[in-house]
């Protein structure tokens, strides 16, 4: 399965990834593409994440020339921006900070992980489905240290919505997509959202 990483500067890296999806559910797969979504503004407490992301998702350019999000794409969102929209700030030093990096966090504040991330993912998915139609998937990602020495930081799926976890390989797919999106985010550090295309067979109409 061909995999393409694409960032707004036009860099495309191809390779092969085995996502562990049962062949019964992968017959429709061709290539998996992951595209960084540029232009996401700073979110703050009370923001509607789906509403903020929608115009930027609609303007995404794909390596094959297509533009915009489809209803069978998966949106991977860094947990940090969901936490900001939930107002999960606290006074720096008052309690542990759930994020190692302090990018875009005021010096006097810390930031905790998203509250009820599964519910947050479902709300975002419904908002995107209302705007783009279809059955989009949403994954909220979080960074964690890899278990093997020397492998650095890997992104994993903190929560998801619209991904059918009853299909063989469902759970491994969410973590693999989060890791793929994390690699794209590393190449585009100002893009905390990645749009992934090519896995419609593991998506569901339900949250």
Q: What is the predicted pLDDT for the residue at 68?
A: 93
16 contact partners, CB below 8 Å, separation of at least 6: 1, 2, 3
**Domain residue extents for the chain:** 33-201
CA–CA distance, 57 with 67 (Å, rounded to integer): 9
The dihedral over CA atoms of 146, 2, 68, 48, expressed in degrees to the nearest 10, equals -20
Classified as helix, coil or strand, 14 is strand
158 contact partners, CB below 8 Å, separation of at least 6: 79, 113, 114, 117, 140, 141, 142, 178
Quote the pTM value: 0.79
- Residue range 33-201, CATH number: 3.30.1330.100
Burial 77-106 (b: 16+ CB within 10 A, else e): bbbbbbbbbbebbeeeeeeebbbeeeeebe
Q: Report in angstroms the alpha-carbon separations of 154 from 79, 102, 160, 179.
A: 14, 17, 17, 6
CB 193 within 8 A of CB 40: yes
Q: Report in angstroms the alpha-carbon separations of 138 from 93, 95, 127, 206.
A: 32, 29, 11, 12
CA–CA distance, 43 with 173 (Å, rounded to integer): 28
pLDDT digits (tens), the chain, 207 positions: 234 444 333 333 333 333 333 343 344 445 788 999 999 998 888 999 999 999 999 999 998 888 999 999 999 999 989 999 998 888 877 776 666 565 566 667 778 888 899 999 999 999 999 999 999 999 999 876 444 444 456 788 899 999 876 666 556 788 888 999 988 988 887 889 999 998 887 888 877
CB 187 within 8 A of CB 34: no
Q: What is the predicted pLDDT for the residue at 39?
A: 92
Other CB atoms within 10 Å distance of the CB of residue 52: 18
């Amino acid at each position: 399965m061909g995999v393409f990483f694409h960032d707004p500067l036009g860099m495309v890296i191809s390779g092969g990834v085995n996502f562990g999806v049962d062949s019964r559910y992968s017959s429709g797969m061709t290539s998996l593409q992951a595209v960084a979504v540029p232009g996401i503004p700073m979110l703050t407490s009370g923001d509607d994440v789906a509403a903020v992301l929608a115009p930027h998702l609609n303007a995404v350019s794909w390596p094959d020339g297509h533009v915009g999000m489809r209803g069978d794409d998966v949106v991977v969102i860094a947990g940090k921006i969901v936490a900001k929209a939930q107002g999960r700030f606290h006074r720096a030093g008052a309690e542990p900070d759930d994020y190692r990096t302090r990018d875009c966090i005021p010096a006097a504040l810390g930031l905790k992980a998203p509250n009820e991330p599964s519910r947050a993912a479902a709300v975002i998915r419904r908002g995107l489905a209302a705007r783009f139609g279809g059955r989009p998937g949403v994954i909220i990602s979080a960074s964690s240290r890899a278990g093997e020495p020397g492998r650095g930081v890997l992104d994993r799926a903190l929560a998801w919505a619209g991904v059918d976890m009853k299909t063989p390989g469902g759970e491994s797919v969410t973590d693999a997509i989060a890791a793929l999106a994390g690699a794209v985010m590393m190449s585009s550090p100002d893009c905390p959202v990645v749009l992934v295309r090519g896995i419609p067979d593991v998506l569901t109409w339900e949250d």
